[in-house]
Amino acid sequence: MSKRIVLGISAYYHDSAAAIVRDGKIVAAAQEERFTRVKGDASFPHHAVDYCLRECKVPIEDVDDIVFYEDPLKKFERLLQSLHWVMPRSLVAFLYAMPKWLTENLWLERVIARELGVRNKRILFRDHHVSHAASAFYPSPFARAAILTVDGAGEWSTAAWGTGEGSRIQLRRHMVYPNSLGLLYSAFTFYAGFKINEGEYKLMGLAPYGTPRFADLIKRELLCIHDNGSFVMNQRYFSYTHGVRTINRRFEALFGRPARKPESEITRFDMDIAASIQSVTTEILLKMARHVRGETDCENLVLAGGVALNVVAMGTLQREAGFARVWVQPAAGDAGGALGAALSVWYEENERPAPQRDGMNGSFLGSNIKRDSKRDDALLKSLGGVWEPMKPGALAEQAASLIARGKIVGVARDRAEWGPRALGNRSILASAQDPETQYKLNVKIKRRESFRPFAPMVLAKDAQKYFDMKTDSPYMLFTYPVREERRLPVETDESMGIYDIVKQRRSDIPAVTHVDFSARVQTVDESSDFAYGVLSALKKLTGCGVMVNTSFNVRGEPIVNTAQDAYRCFMATDMDYAVIGNRLFDKAKQKGREGV
């Protein structure tokens, strides 16, 4: 009997999520953090599950299968063996981990049934990297593709490659724990003073400010890299196999400095550390991809796993790995495992070939802020909201006019994006031509480190006028160089501090040009109607079809989910205007901060 509806779940590590597939189509997907407002929420995704069921218009009893994104028994085996290898150093970690495993994690089928309130319902488990692979292949536009998954760790695997064709996925080779590119990058994230599983983006953004002067040291002392991209880590420098910290004193002594304290000054040393590990990471991924290209003889490559969100490396793979096309799952991290688990079961049970199209629906799979909702009207009024209702076309033109005048506009309407990138429905938009935009957004709106770059949203038909790119990039998952003719000369001085470097104007779209003249590009066509309308109107006003697009949130908070979330964030920052549904909010006209 074919399976019509499959619910996928990821939970208990970070970025818990749920996704639902009906008749092979992705109906809905969302992370728990969007509902609870707890960044990276790892708890059971009750709210995300409820949302998916509502969007699919079914009760939990009508779901054919429930599937968890990894195998707890295999993960427990890895935990026991890896802790046993380093006894007695791992005793504290063993005593910390065992109670939860023995009382809950080993009985996960029973736990999930209890959390969902179901009986006599089949609950399945998928291998972690199979879930990643399925999330990458089945929604991709390819009938056949090579698959590469890279992350911190699943059960045993830390990376895997194989192929997908029709309804089948085959993973042919695995790299195993404790050798892990994801854990290596996280170790340097910690060393640079950023939070693991959150600060990797910051490390990547910091890298272009430095020079990779430690890359050879990393490859000589920390790693033995093989031609196929696999490697062996020197565990003398790491403590993640047995302790709370990822690195030890030997690691710090190797580089001649203790780990940077969070929020302390960023020095040239920190920039060079970031540049070095980014260089090594890109080199390893490129070796992996080229090896997979040779072994599979596939023209196309799909990727998932948290490391696939390293847009710098993905840009290099797209240009240099030898594949015709490279496609990355927009929610490549553990949240995406929920979707991959559901897709894996559906295609395995039904044996139908995946459609040769992008099945992600633009990644707009989350909660819907309806354009006109009386319920939202009442809630927004209760928060002191004052707005002007507008038709979508006029609203897009007005937003473009504001952006052209240097105003910062938050946008929250229609369905939320799936994954960590805001793609126009939960975005903050601003001028790419204004050299002050980066500072204003980082310091006054996002409240984050001022060195961090912002991404451009560009009309797909104009993308090649601004960036050296040959394919569309709808999910903002690759970096591309800004075209040479748009660049401006800059002074380079080793004595310059990071904030002096940030202030330099590098092109005629300075707000989205990073220090190395790269940009994390999102291309937009008519399918993204509101964003396309804003960009088209902005181009008519300014001659430039590019604007800044960053996520609608502040540092430490998830991206806004509801109309109320958006209004509160708008009022708590120096944003000038907000579009919530079909409403335009002017900060100067709001009644105040009552209830915000």
Share of the chain above pLDDT 90, in %: 83
92 band by pLDDT with thresholds 50, 70 and 90:
confident
**Strand (E) or helix (H) holding 448:** none
**C-alpha–C-alpha distance, residues 539 and 545, integer Å:** 5
Query: Same domain, yes or no, for 203 and 346?
Result: no
What would the mean pLDDT of 321-338 be, rounded to a whole number?
Answer: 98
Using alpha carbons, select from 50, 388, 552 the residue that is nearest to residue 380: 388
479-514: pLDDT as tens digits: 999 999 999 998 877 777 777 788 889 999 999 999
CA dihedral (267, 574, 30, 24) positive or negative: negative
Show the tokens assigned to 355. Answer: 């459609």
SS3 content of the chain, % helix, strand, coil (to 5): 40, 20, 40
Q: Which two tokens stand for residue 88?
A: 């007695």
Is residue 154 situated within a structural domain? no
Is 153 within the bounds of a domain? Answer: no
**What's the rounded Cα separation, in Å, for the pair 293 and 302?**
11
Bigger pLDDT: 521 vs 357 = 521
Please give the pLDDT value at position 595.
42
Question: Does one domain contain both 416 and 557?
Answer: yes
Residue 232 is part of which domain span?
181-327
Average pLDDT value for the chain:
94
Task: Tell me whether residue 479 is in a domain.
Answer: yes
**Domain match, 384 and 441 both:** yes
Average pLDDT rounded to a whole number, residues 36-48? 97
Q: Whole-angstrom Cα distance, residue 350 to residue 339? A: 17
Alpha-helical runs (H) found in 331-473: 334-350, 374-382, 392-404, 437-439, 463-466
165 contacts 146 by C-beta, under 8 angstroms: no
| 148 found inside a domain | no
Q: Which of 504, 514, 498, 494 is nearest to 267 (CA)?
A: 498
Q: Do residue 375 and residue 311 come from a single domain?
A: no
Residues 317 and 340 in one domain: no
User: Which residues have a Cβ under 8 Å from the Cβ of 500 and sit 6 or more positions away?
Assistant: none
**The pTM is what?**
0.95
Domain with 482 in it: what CATH number?
A: 3.90.870.20
For the ranges 181-185, 244-248, 370-374, which has the lowest average pLDDT? 244-248
380-411 tens-digit pLDDT: 999 999 999 999 999 999 999 999 999 999 99
Instruction: Report the SS3 class of residue 467.
Output: strand
Q: What is the pLDDT of residue 356?
A: 78
DSSP tag of 445: I
- Is 488 in contact with 576 (CB distance < 8 Å)? no
Collapse the DSSP code of 491 into the 3-class scheme (helix H, G, I; strand E, B; otherwise coil) and give the result: coil
CB-based contacts of 445, cutoff 8 Å, min separation 6: 408, 428, 554, 573, 574, 575
The token pair that represents 507 in the structure block: 């092109």
Shared domain for 533 and 411, answered yes or no, is: yes
593: confidence class by pLDDT, cuts 50, 70, 90: low
Q: What is the CATH number of the domain that holds 50?
A: 3.30.420.40
Q: Are 412 and 578 in contact (CB under 8 A)?
A: yes
Taking only the tens place, the pLDDT of each residue in 546-564 is 999 999 999 889 999 999 9
Q: pLDDT at residue 141 above 80?
A: yes
Select, from the ranges 243-247, 313-317, 434-438, the one with the highest average predicted confidence (pLDDT): 313-317
Say if 243 falls within a structural domain. Answer: yes
Please indicate, yes or no, whether residues 442 and 559 belong to a single structural domain of this protein: yes
Structure tokens at 495: 């004595």
Q: How far apart are CA 17 and CA 383, in angstroms?
A: 29
Domain boundary, last residue among 341, 357, 373:
357
Q: How far apart are CA 400 and CA 407, in angstroms?
A: 9
Beta carbons of 301 and 293 less than 8 angstroms apart: yes
For residue 278, report the phi and psi dihedrals to the nearest 5 degrees: -65, -40
Residues 282 and 422 in one domain: no
Q: Are residues 212 and 81 in the same domain?
A: no
Please indicate, yes or no, whether residues 202 and 217 belong to a single structural domain of this protein. yes
Does residue 208 sit in the same domain as residue 301? yes
List, for residues 423-464, the tens digit of each pLDDT value.
Answer: 999 999 999 999 999 888 988 888 888 788 899 999 999 999
Look at the chain and report how many structural domains it folds into.
3
| Local structure of 579: helix, strand or coil | strand
- Average pLDDT (79-108) is 79
Locate tokens 């170790």: which residue? 187
Q: 255 lies in a domain?
A: yes
Are 291 and 424 part of one and the same domain?
no
Residue 292 pLDDT level (bands cut at 50, 70, 90): very high
Q: Within a domain: residue 596?
A: no
Residue type, 308: A
Give yes or no for a contact between 466 and 456, defined as CB atoms under 8 angstroms apart: yes
**Hey, how many other C-beta atoms are within 10 angstroms of the C-beta on 522?**
26
Distance of alpha carbon 446 from alpha carbon 91, whole angstroms: 41
Query: Which pLDDT band holds residue 567 (cuts at 50, 70, 90)?
Result: very high
CA distances from 68 to 111, 370, 492 (A): 11, 31, 51
Read off the pLDDT of residues 152-194 as tens digits, 9 standing for 90 and up: 999 999 999 999 999 999 999 999 999 999 999 999 999 999 9
CA distance linking residue 232 with residue 227, whole number of Å: 12
Do 385 and 555 contact (CB within 8 A), yes or no?
Answer: no
CA distance 197 to 207: 17
Residue 594 included in any domain = no
